[in-house]
């Protein structure tokens, strides 16, 4: 028996939890956050690592070759280093959550073509996730289950990468047995101003949720991993945007409004899972109760290289024993 | 990913290229950040601090303190700029201390700020209550209503002040249960009212000569020689006229408090576009605007009302209100707004001057409720308080439980302030605010030492250095030194800024130690219940 399994059994014997889940979300291409996510299994003694979507990065920085140097613009500042240090510069850019792409000056111009830029992004996202899956296989203890599901900011191409990774489980829109509870996962969200790839109307979202949750055996405790948080839960408060996608200011401050899903809220009320895990709205970290369900959004602080997460302890009867929001 | 887009920098070879993904364009530019900074300062409250300086120090003069206060915040601005670049998140000192110094230090700041801000809510309500006679006099004058003017004589008893304080808090409570979006709109309306009143005051002062003011004051007081009588009465009661350097230095902490809020766009650091640059420009513009406006109004007040007169009126109001009342009914607390009321010839400006301070206190309290409930949220999420504290109303999206706790506590404080002498207990409030500035300075001082990974630029082997010392360390040291200077002034002038007594020192210590103690108790209880160890909440995860 592995030490991690022994930990779980020891906790259960003491009247503690039978299953410990570590949940994080929205790392958005941050290399350092993903590495911390893998380290969390050992540090928090988790039985299951769950990454709830939005793994893909948002920014791409060309590292441009010159005579004997390379340069890149990072946070608005031009950084130039000798060519011998190009790998380190790329690694630094990667740690900041951007994709460094080596190219010639004339190739940079081509990125003003949105199709070319889109192609490059997809290539880099897939390449990074493939590396991450390999890293997980290398670093995780055999007993630890690692589940990664997509979010609305993840291109559809990543589904195949996750499905092909032997060490990763990706039960998107499926039920997954975790022992005392069944996990249900959905990365789809309601429409956003950015028109990302996994957006659906409230009605479509409700249908997808029902199609999955109705398969759950009667009385079987569940944990849901829905990327989109429930509407007006305090876990979905985001800045209000105008037509140009600029934050609306009221009283000299950004105006905040609820942007979650009513379909998710109704599903929580109807199915009453033990725990509901959400992401999507980075600044809306918190925990709330809807009926008997504990709803958690650990938030995201990937730009500061900080992994925000939640430890959730599930008792042998499938009830929630305890939870703790973490900042690591 | 349905679409991609190059950012505005994409035309420069090698810039940042972005794809269209949720959240990316939620960025505040310099105008928005400047608006946040200016909205965080209660502009008319400067008259409260002018009045406090004039009564607390003999031969008080505001030019040097106003400029010195600005310089202290200017240096601090550079320190916060670096902190914001390293940790571009909302949360201010709580986040900086917990990330750079330790989670315990962050908890100390978080809980202490929550408690002190709750007290400040009560203090603001109490100030609005004591300002009510001026408001009623002004409104009575504007509407030519003797009933309103006479009512001013019946609202200064303890019972009346307590009732008005509670009334102010109930208004704040009623407005706070609206959605945050609606609350922000109400705050904006109240800020506009203050700004218009301030502008009207400046125009009135500029448009009238000293002789006009002397005549208008006589007319207002129904006593032609009222102006000279005030100066003579002040002299008779020992008020020293003129300006002294020692008094100007002593007043500096009042003016540091005056600017409090001007750098507050760092509280929305996670929303700023290119945080360091945006924050720097927004803060510099805000600071510059406030220096021009406040120094300008002070200069106009000196020219039109006269320094001797202001010193005499403020000191008589504090030490011999009976004598002052026999000469004029003009409240000394109102300061410049009162002088505006004297010069005003139309009812609109009179209404503006009468209602500017209550409007400011309600606006500030609405903002403080939002901030304090956010802190309670964080404590509940960290399991230091029950999770129920963070419950959000389904209809109004408002944190109803947290709002209830904050308002109940502040109403209790308001009543306590009226019926019990709590001045000893809260005497070190000014010291606490100076300590917050010190916390920012220390965070900047230790940043490069404790978290060089957050400071080092991409591709660089080391942090930026000047004469071998990290640049941020030098700026942090300068900010710390200026914060210490402010703390020393507060301590040296403890008769003005708060006396050190057993009660005041114990209160400050209790507030500062509340965070770590709560943490230790919560951890112990959770251990006994076989729950998750609380120390895991802020444990640094190794990336490798």
Q: How far is B468 from chain A (nearest CA, A)?
A: 21
Options 3.30.465.10, 1.20.1740.10, 3.40.190.10, 3.40.50.720; CATH for B27-532 is 1.20.1740.10
Give the mutation candidate from B30, B377, B543 for the A interface (greatest A CB count, under 10 A): B543
Rounded distance between C-alpha atoms, residue B371 and residue B120, angstroms: 12
**Tokens 């503690």, located at residue:** A16
Rounded distance between C-alpha atoms, residue B94 and residue B436, angstroms: 10
B22 and A72 within 8 Å at the Cβ level: the answer is no
Assess whether pLDDT exceeds 80 at residue B42: no
Q: What pLDDT was estimated at residue B4?
A: 41
Q: How far is A210 from chain B (nearest CA, A)?
A: 23
User: Which residue of chain A is at minimal alpha-carbon distance from B399?
Assistant: A234
**Tokens 């010392």, located at residue:** B469
B536 and A14 within 8 Å at the Cβ level: the answer is no
Query: Nearest by CB to A71, which of B3, B14, B186?
Result: B14
Q: What is the pLDDT of residues B422-451, one digit of tens each?
A: 888 888 988 999 999 999 999 999 999 998
Q: What pLDDT was estimated at residue B48?
A: 84
Select from B510, B520, B522 the least CA-distant residue to B384: B522
Q: What pLDDT was estimated at residue A5?
A: 52
A263 or A104, which is more confident? A263
B543 and A39 within 8 Å at the Cβ level: the answer is yes
* End-to-end alpha carbon distance in chain B: 30
Would you say A324 and B536 are in contact if contact means Cβ atoms under 8 Å apart?
A: yes
Identify the three-state secondary structure at position A31. helix
Q: What is the pLDDT of residues B89-125, one digit of tens each?
A: 766 788 888 888 887 888 898 889 889 989 989 999 9
A194 and B21 within 8 Å at the Cβ level: the answer is yes
User: 3-class secondary structure for B158-193?
Assistant: HHHHHHHHHHHHHHHHHHHCCCHHHHHHHHHHHHHH
A 10 A CB-CB count for A13 gives 9
Q: How far is B506 from chain A (nearest CA, A)?
A: 32
Select from A37, A48, A44, A36 the least CA-distant residue to A143: A48
Angle between helices B336-343 and B132-143 (to 10 degrees): 10
- How buried is residue B327: exposed, middle or buried, by Cβ count under 10 Å (0-12/13-18/19+)? buried
Whole-prediction pTM? 0.80
B453 and A305 within 8 Å at the Cβ level: the answer is yes
Give the number of C-alpha atoms closer than 13 A to the C-alpha of residue B200, restricted to the C-beta side: 26
Mean pLDDT confidence for B57-78? 96
Assess whether pLDDT exceeds 70 at residue B337: yes
User: Which residue of chain A is at minimal alpha-carbon distance from B22?
Assistant: A194
User: Which residue of chain B is at minimal alpha-carbon distance from A258?
Assistant: B397
Give the mutation candidate from B23, B186, B285 for the A interface (greatest A CB count, under 10 A): B23
Identify the three-state secondary structure at position B4. strand
Mean pLDDT confidence for B259-265? 84
Go through chain B and tell me how many residues it has. Answer: 544
Rounded distance between C-alpha atoms, residue B4 and residue A119, angstroms: 9
Select from B210, B199, B201 the least CA-distant residue to B304: B210
Would you say B121 and B365 are in contact if contact means Cβ atoms under 8 Å apart?
A: yes
On chain B, the residues whose CB falls within 8 A of the CB of A80 are 459
A273 in contact with chain B, both atoms CB, cutoff 8 A: no
Q: What pLDDT was estimated at residue B5?
A: 41
ipTM score over 0.95, yes or no: no
Rounded distance between C-alpha atoms, residue A98 and residue B431, angstroms: 43
Assess whether pLDDT exceeds 90 at residue A322: yes
Query: Nearest by CB to B181, which of A61, A80, A240?
Result: A240
Tokens of B107: 């908890």
Q: What is the pLDDT of residues B490-540, one digit of tens each?
A: 999 998 999 999 999 999 999 999 988 988 888 888 888 878 988 888 777
Q: What is the pLDDT of residues B370-417, one digit of tens each?
A: 778 877 887 888 888 888 888 887 777 778 898 899 999 999 999 998
B27 or B96, which is more confident? B96
Assess whether pLDDT exceeds 70 at residue A6: no
Give the mutation candidate from A79, A188, A238, A252 for the B interface (greatest B CB count, under 10 A): A252
Would you say A283 and A238 are in contact if contact means Cβ atoms under 8 Å apart?
A: yes
Q: What pLDDT was estimated at residue A323?
A: 94
A319 in contact with chain B, both atoms CB, cutoff 8 A: no
Assess whether pLDDT exceeds 80 at residue A24: yes
The residues in A 48-87 lying below 8 A from B, measured between CB atoms, are 56, 58-64, 71-81, 85
Mean pLDDT, chain B, rounded, equals 87
Q: What domains appear along chain A, each with residue ranges and CATH number? A: 3-59+117-327 (3.60.21.10), 60-116 (no CATH)
Rounded distance between C-alpha atoms, residue A103 and residue A101, angstroms: 6
Q: What pLDDT was estimated at residue B7?
A: 41
- CB within 8 Å of B164: residues ≥ 6 apart: B128, B129, B132, B155
The residues in A 164-203 lying below 8 A from B, measured between CB atoms, are 192-197
Q: Which of A249-258, B336-345, B524-533 has the highest mean pLDDT?
A: B336-345
Residue A225 backbone phi and psi in degrees, to 5: -125, 75
Q: How many CB pairs under 8 A join A and B?
A: 271
Rounded distance between C-alpha atoms, residue B338 and residue B313, angstroms: 11
DSSP state for residue A261 in the 8-state scheme: B
Tokens of B100: 């750079």
Q: How far is A97 from chain B (nearest CA, A)?
A: 12
Q: How confident is the model at residue B232 (pLDDT cuts 50, 70, 90)?
A: very high
Task: Please calculate the CA angle A298-A267-A320 and round it to the nearest 5 degrees.
Answer: 50
């Amino acid at each position: 028996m592995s030490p991690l399994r022994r930990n779980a059994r020891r906790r259960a014997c003491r009247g503690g939890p039978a299953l410990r889940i570590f949940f994080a979300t929205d790392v958005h291409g941050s290399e350092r956050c993903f590495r911390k996510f893998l380290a969390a299994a050992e540090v928090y003694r988790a039985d299951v690592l769950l990454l709830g979507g939005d793994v893909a990065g948002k920014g791409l920085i060309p590292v441009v070759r010159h005579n004997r140097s390379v340069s890149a613009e990072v946070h608005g500042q031009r950084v130039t280093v000798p060519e011998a240090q190009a790998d380190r510069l790329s690694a630094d850019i990667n740690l900041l959550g951007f994709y460094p792409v080596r190219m010639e000056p004339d190739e940079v111009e081509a990125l003003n073509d949105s199709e070319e830029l889109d192609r490059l992004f997809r290539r880099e996202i897939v390449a990074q996730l493939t590396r991450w899956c390999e890293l997980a296989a290398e670093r995780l203890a055999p007993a630890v289950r690692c589940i990664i599901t997509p979010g609305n900011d993840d291109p559809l191409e990543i589904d195949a990468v996750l499905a092909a990774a032997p060490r990763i489980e990706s039960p998107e829109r499926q039920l997954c047995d975790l022992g005392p509870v069944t996990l249900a996962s959905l990365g789809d969200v309601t429409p956003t101003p950015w028109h990302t790839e996994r957006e659906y109307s409230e009605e479509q979202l409700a249908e997808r949720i029902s199609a999955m949750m109705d398969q759950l055996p009667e009385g079987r405790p569940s944990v849901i991993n829905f990327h989109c948080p429930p509407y007006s839960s305090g876990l979905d408060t985001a800045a209000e945007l105008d037509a140009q996608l600029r934050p609306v200011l009221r009283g000299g401050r950004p105006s905040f409004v609820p942007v979650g899903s009513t379909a998710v809220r109704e599903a929580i009320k109807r199915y009453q899972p033990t725990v509901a895990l959400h992401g999507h709205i980075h600044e809306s970290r918190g925990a709330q109760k809807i009926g008997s369900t504990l709803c958690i959004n650990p938030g995201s602080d990937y730009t500061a290289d900080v992994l925000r997460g939640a430890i959730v302890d599930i008792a042998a009867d499938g009830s929630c024993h305890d939870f703790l929001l973490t900042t690591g | 990913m349905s679409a991609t887009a190059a950012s505005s920098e994409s035309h420069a070879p090698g810039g940042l290229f972005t794809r269209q993904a949720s959240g990316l364009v939620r960025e505040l530019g310099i105008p928005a950040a400047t608006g946040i900074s200016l909205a965080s300062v209660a502009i008319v409250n400067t008259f409260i601090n002018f009045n406090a300086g004039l009564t607390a120090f003999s031969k008080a003069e505001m030019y040097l303190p106003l400029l010195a206060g600005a310089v202290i915040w200017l240096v601090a601005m550079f320190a916060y700029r670096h902190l914001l670049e390293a940790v571009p998140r909302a949360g201010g000192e709580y986040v900086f201390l917990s990330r750079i110094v330790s989670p315990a230090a962050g908890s100390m700041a978080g809980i202490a700020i929550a408690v002190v801000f709750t007290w400040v809510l009560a203090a603001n309500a109490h100030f609005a209550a004591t300002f009510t006679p001026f408001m009623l006099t002004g409104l009575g004058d504007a509407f030519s209503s003797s009933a309103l003017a006479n009512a001013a004589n019946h609202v200064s008893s303890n019972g009346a002040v307590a009732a008005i304080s509670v009334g102010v808090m109930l208004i704040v409570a009623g407005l706070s249960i609206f959605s945050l979006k609606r609350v922000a709109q109400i705050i904006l309306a109240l800020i506009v009212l203050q700004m218009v009143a301030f502008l009207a005051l400046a125009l009135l002062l500029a448009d009238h000569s000293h002789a006009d003011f002397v005549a208008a004051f006589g007319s207002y007081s129904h006593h032609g020689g009222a102006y000279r009588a005030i100066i003579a009465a002040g002299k008779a009661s020992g008020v020293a006229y003129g300006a002294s350097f020692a008094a100007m230095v002593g007043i500096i902490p009042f003016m540091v408090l005056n600017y409090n809020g001007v750098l507050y766009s760092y509280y929305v650091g996670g929303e700023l576009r290119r945080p360091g640059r945006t924050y720097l420009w927004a803060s510099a513009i805000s600071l510059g605007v406030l220096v021009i406006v406040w120094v300008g109004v002070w200069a106009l007040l000196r020219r039109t009302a006269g320094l001797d007169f202001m010193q005499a009126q403020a000191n008589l109001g504090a030490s011999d209100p009976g004598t002052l009342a026999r000469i004029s009914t003009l409240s000394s607390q109102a300061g410049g707004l009162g002088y505006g009321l004297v010069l005003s010839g139309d009812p609109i400006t009179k209404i503006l001057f009468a209602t500017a301070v209550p409007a400011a206190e309600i606006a500030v309290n609405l903002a403080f409720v939002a901030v304090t409930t956010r802190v309670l949220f964080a404590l509940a999420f960290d399991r230091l308080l029950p999770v129920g504290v963070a419950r959000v109303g389904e209809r109004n999206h408002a944190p109803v439980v947290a709002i209830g706790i904050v308002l109940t506590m502040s109403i209790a404080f308001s009543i306590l302030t009226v019926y019990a002498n709590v001045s000893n207990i809260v005497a070190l409030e000014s010291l606490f605010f100076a300590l917050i500035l010190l916390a920012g300075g220390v965070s900047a001082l230790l940043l490069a030492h404790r978290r060089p990974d957050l400071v080092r630029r991409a591709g660089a082997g080391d942090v930026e250095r000047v004469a071998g010392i990290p640049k941020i360390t030098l700026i942090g040291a300068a900010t710390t030194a200026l914060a210490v200077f402010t703390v020393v002034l507060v301590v040296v002038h403890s008769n003005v800024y708060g006396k050190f007594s057993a009660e005041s020192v114990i209160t400050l210590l209790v507030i500062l130690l509340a965070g770590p103690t709560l943490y230790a108790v919560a951890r112990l209880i959770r251990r006994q219940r076989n729950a998750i160890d609380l120390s895991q909440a802020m444990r640094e995860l190794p990336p490798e």
